[in-house]
Structures are given as structure tokens and as C-alpha cells.
Amino acid sequence: AAIAAARHPKPKIRAKQISNLWQTVSPVSCGVSCVILYCRMADASKPKMRTIYLYVPNIIGYLRVLMNCLAFAICFSHKEIFALLYFVSFVLDGVDGWFARKLNQVSTFGAVLDMVTDRISTACLLVTLTQVYRPGLIFLSLLALDIASHWLQMYSTFLSGKASHKDVKDSSSWLFRLYYGNRKFMAFCCVSCEVIFSDLCASIDEIFVVTMLMPVFL
């Protein structure tokens, strides 16, 4: 065995060969390691974004839809409960916007959900009023005005390339600038309109007190 080992000695790896091998492998392995480490750090630092359908303001929007459906289902049999549900849904319309700005959860889906919910709920309320008060032409006219005015405003915003229909800084109408530029005035107009409509439907005089006190809390 000793003679065989002497005849066939193990090949020796020279220091120069090791150096060349290290110079070849080291940059590649270090580069791969750096890429892997960077990817892991990026994944760790990236915030976990929940789907837009589970945003807090959008969940509030779903709740508004359910409340409106329940409200109009009992609008003729339980008018007081209808008025309460409708008014709470209207208040949540402002709450979801506050959460969207506070939590930085503003989304196109949420804006569309909010707009569609508002328009459908107002349309259903005006149609309900046509069944309570005859003739109902005035309420149908208000319904047409509501749909047409919002559609024209949104369409003009689209044509002008603005990001929001509330951007009326360059508008020539002082009423538009006052309505969209002053949040308190806008809130008072919206609350007054919705409360009067729901009051006409439910005939609850106490709701007018809320209308008068609302500017105090705004």
C-alpha cells in the first residue's frame, strides 16, 4: 500500500490555483448573497397592504349599503326607524371620508362606492316621497336635477383633466367655489337637504332640531 501510494501521489492544489478559484467564485457568490439579502430586506421593510376591498372606509361603505337597504325595506311600515337608519347612513358618509384621509386609504373604488351609494339612496328617497305626497312631480324633478347636476359636474371634471370634481378654484361660479371651498357650508347644505327629505317621509318634527344644531358641532 505504501509502495502504491508512493507511485500514485495525491495531486497537490497549488496556492495560485486556489487564489484563481477564489477570485472567480467569490464575486459571484457575494453578488448572489447580496441580491438575496436585499430582496429579504425589501420584503421585510415593505408594509403589508390590505386589499382595497377591506379598507376601513370601504367597510363603512358596505355598512351604509346594508342600512339603506333595510331602511327602504321598512320605509312604509316603520317610518321612524327608517328615518333613523337613513340619517345614520348619511352621517357615516362623512365618517368614511375622515377615515380615508386619516388612514391614508383613499381609493378610486371607495370614491365610486361612496358616490353610487349617495346617488342611489337619494334617488330611492325621492321616489319614496312620490308615493307619500301626490302629485309627486316636484320630487321627480328634484331627482332629475340631482342626477343631471352630478353627472355634468363629473363629466366636466373628466374633460378638464382634474383629479377631483371638488377642484373648483378656477370656476367662474361663486356658488360652486363657496359650496366646495367651505366644508362647513357644504356640510350644512347636505345635512339640511337630507334631513328635510327624510322628515317629509317620516314626518318627525324632532329631526329639524338636529338640522339647526348641526352647524354648532361642525
Distance CA 181, CA 175 (A): 9
Contact 83, 199 (CB under 8 A): yes
Instruction: Count CB neighbours of 66 within 10 A.
Output: 11
All cell numbers assigned to 162:
382634474
Q: How far apart are CA 87 and CA 83, in angstroms?
A: 6
Cell, residue 32: 448572489
Give CA–CA dist 113/143, Å, rounded. Answer: 19
135-161 residues labelled b (16+ CB within 10 A) or e (exposed): ebeebeebbeebeeeeeeeeeebeeee
Q: Is 114 a catalytic residue?
A: no
Choosing from 118, 146, 170, 205, the catalytic residue is: 118
**Residues recognised as catalytic:** 118
